[in-house]
Amino acid sequence: MILSAPDNVTTRKKATAVCSKCKSVLDSRAHRSWFVKTFLFWLPIRNFKCYKCNRTQYVLINR
Ligand SMILES: [Zn+2]
């Protein structure tokens, strides 16, 4: 008997955002700055980086 692992266990919903400039999908791996960690830690905010135009922007994640 072969057990197949369900797909929805390991695939977590990734927060995605689009660059306001070039409309490409942003990478969410950018680190949050100390300012965000200190003052905006209560906000569902994420620092996204666009590797196309090399700029970071903060995006509010709606849940
Ligand atoms: Zn961009």
Centroid of ligand 1 to alpha carbon of 5 (angstroms): 37
Ligand 1 centroid to Cα of residue 24, in Å, is 6
Is residue 9 within 8 A of residue 16, CB to CB? The reply is no
Domain coordinates in residue numbering, the chain: 17-60
Check whether 10 has a pLDDT greater than 60: no
- State the sign of the Cα–Cα–Cα–Cα dihedral 46, 17, 55, 52: positive
More confident residue, 30 or 40: 40
Query: Cα(41) to centroid of ligand 1, in Å?
Result: 25
User: Taking ligand 1, which is a single-atom ion, which protein residues have CB atoms under 5 Å away?
Assistant: 19, 21-22, 50, 52-53
| Average pLDDT of the residues in 13-38 | 81
**pTM (2 decimals)?**
0.55
